[in-house]
Structure 1
Amino acid sequence: MSDNEQAEAAEDAEAEAEDAGTEEATEEVTEGIQDGDFVKIAYTIRTADDGQVIDTTDEEIAEDAEIDTEEYEFEPRTIAIGAGHIFGTVEDELIGAEVGEEGVIDIPAEEAFGEYDPEEVETVAADKIPEDDRYPGAQIQIDQRQGRLETIIGGRARVDFNHPLAGEDLEYEYEILEVIEDREEKAKGLLGMHLQEEPEVRIETETVEEENEEGELEEVEQESLYIEATPQMQMNQQWMFQKQQVAQDLMDRLDLDRVVIEEVIDGGGMGGMGGMMGGMGGMGGGEADLEEALEEADVDAEELVEEIDEE
């Protein structure tokens, strides 16, 4: 074999080795949890310096930390990798991980809630603060900024607008429990991250008519996510203001055509009125029933019935 042939053979072998290495590296990257996956995870977040629990999915840990266990539900959460539901440092660690893995991830302050900024401590006029909140330690809002009242003297108040955990390094203890494949479970988990509750949902395939490029109507199938809005959701300001954004997030991540929100109103204090109006609408109960209903409503029944008969 000539020197040129040997050189060419060596180059070919090197190229094959590089290709094999690239394929192996690609396989390694695509193994385990990936961007876009939905993962059920149990976790506890603590401050690194003193171990203060700031968030957890474990009720016993919450009780030990004297967190109000009646106000919140403590159970594993479903998160969408790449959706910004968790700290970026944690997402990076979870990429490529497998179900069953657990560990502790260190999160530096600048990647958690930011470094503490002394310039975020400002003096403001005391009359900007409601009288009931004029005491040291009160959480207040001024000009749409959240802060903590440090001191108040006369007509001036010192307010710290830093996040309460600014400057704190954190420890994120976790266990990966499951990769969620069911799309309805994914939808519930995504809603849970936005709303702190998981309403009932269902995905339905429906046939609808749409106009094609030629302007003709044709039947196409589309998938709709139906969300049964709970009373808590209907009172949730975040849901009220971000409903469109949440719906778009659901459609993008779950490859849906539309989101339908069903608001259910249960019978309650207006039940009697509802029954009365139902009878009036159909008139199937006859004049006697109508007169009885109108008497209960303190209306002159005879006069109204005569007007109806004349019509």
Structure 2
Amino acid sequence: MAFNKGDIVRIDYNAYIADIDRLYDTTSESKAKDAGFYNEKYKYAPMAYIVGSGKVFKALDEAITKASIGKEVSIEIESKDAAGARDPKLVEVYPIREFYKQEINPIPGLEVKFGNKTGVIVSAGAGRVKVDFNNPLAGKDLRYEFTVTEVIKDQEEKAKAIVEMAFGTSDGFSFEFGDNEVSILLPDIVKFSQEWPMMKFKIVSDMRESFGVDTIKLVEVWSKAPATDVADKKKKKPAAKKEKTEE
């Protein structure tokens, strides 16, 4: 069985750096714990994915398209077809004072941000810090073991999956489906999210493509707090006692 472009599926997977057989990503909580990178904030469950969207390496996307539900697939991808070769020009050196200004203790292995670039500290010493801005997978052959667990057909579940792929969670979102439009009622969490302004464009694009509609409505509700009786809010203050003056 092959899937069609635009199908939304859920995938269980384990991703390895092939030459050293090291697991670096997984949807399995137990495997993440065994590998030492378990994150309690991450939800370990089959990942939602839009077939043919190109949001993973091309060879992996093609393998997913040809897969069958419930059948495990193993695929190796050479570095040139994955994250590409390492670029020495992406290893940069900064004065150590730049880190101290940001109250960062520059130790090797620490992930840091400079502007819109994210890198990993390679070394620190003699007043200088070397930072590698290469993709962590650059220069590495990869192996993926994955199983497509389901094809999502239900409209609401598809909408939840699209939000989850972009925003990380669909908790609190609700959906209404009309003629040539989808309305998304947004939870309060998006009002305070720095990522939401960018993520919403991905959601709108994927919703249009998956549901074949022209209009996506993002509904943000700001409710006024219920009025309370002013008399209940104000506590009556006891009358001030007059001090007696001795004559």
TM-score, normalisation: structure 1: 0.67
Tell me the equivalent position of 1:133: 105
Contact 2:181 2:217 survives alignment (8 Å):
no
Q: Which amino acid aligns with 1:229?
A: P
Contact 1:38 1:179 survives alignment (8 Å):
yes
Q: Does 1:253 align with 2:226?
A: no
Q: Which amino acid aligns with 2:234?
A: E
Tell me the equivalent position of 2:33: 63
Q: Counterparts in 2 of 1:1-311, with a 5 A limit?
A: 32-129=2-99, 130-199=102-171, 200-205=173-178, 221-229=179-187, 231=189, 233-263=190-220, 274-275=225-226, 278-279=227-228, 290=230, 292-293=231-232, 295-296=234-235
- Deviations 1:41-63 (CA, angstroms, capped at 9, x unpaired): 11111111222222111122122
Tell me the SS of whatever aligns to 1:49: helix
How far is 1:73 from its partner? 0.8
Tell me the SS of whatever aligns to 2:63: helix
- Deviations 1:129-169 (CA, angstroms, capped at 9, x unpaired): 23423222221122322112222334432221112222111
Percent identity reads 29
- Deviations 1:241-286 (CA, angstroms, capped at 9, x unpaired): 332342233123222333333446799xxxxxx44xx25xxxxxxx
Distance 1:100 1:68, change over 3 A: closer
Tell me the SS of whatever aligns to 1:152: strand
CA distance in 2, matches of 1:297, 1:124: 62
How far is 1:175 from its partner? 0.8
Aligned CA RMSD, in angstroms, stands at 2.6
Contact 2:52 2:65 survives alignment (8 Å):
no
Distance 1:234 1:82, change over 3 A: farther
Contact 1:229 1:262 survives alignment (8 Å):
no
How far is 1:294 from its partner? 6.1
Contact 1:195 1:239 survives alignment (8 Å):
yes
CA distance in 2, matches of 1:265, 1:66: 42
Distance 1:151 1:100, change over 3 A: closer
Of Structure 1 and Structure 2, which has the larger fraction of its residues in helix? 1
CA distance in 2, matches of 1:294, 1:180: 51
Contact 2:175 2:185 survives alignment (8 Å):
yes
Contact 2:52 2:62 survives alignment (8 Å):
no
CA distance in 2, matches of 1:177, 1:43: 10
- Deviations 1:108-130 (CA, angstroms, capped at 9, x unpaired): 11222221222221222333323
Distance 1:244 1:123, change over 3 A: same
Tell me the SS of whatever aligns to 1:127: helix
CA distance in 1, matches of 2:21, 2:88: 24
Tell me the SS of whatever aligns to 1:162: coil
Q: Mean alpha-carbon deviation: is it higher for 248-257 or for 177-186?
A: 248-257
Contact 1:133 1:140 survives alignment (8 Å):
no
Q: Which amino acid aligns with 1:78?
A: A
Q: Which runs of no fewer than 5 residues in structure 2 stay unpaired?
A: 238-247
Contact 1:41 1:78 survives alignment (8 Å):
yes
Q: Which structure is higher in RCO with an 8 Å CA cutoff and minimum separation 6?
A: 2
Contact 2:76 2:144 survives alignment (8 Å):
yes
CA distance in 1, matches of 2:233, 2:70: 67
CA distance in 1, matches of 2:118, 2:174: 34
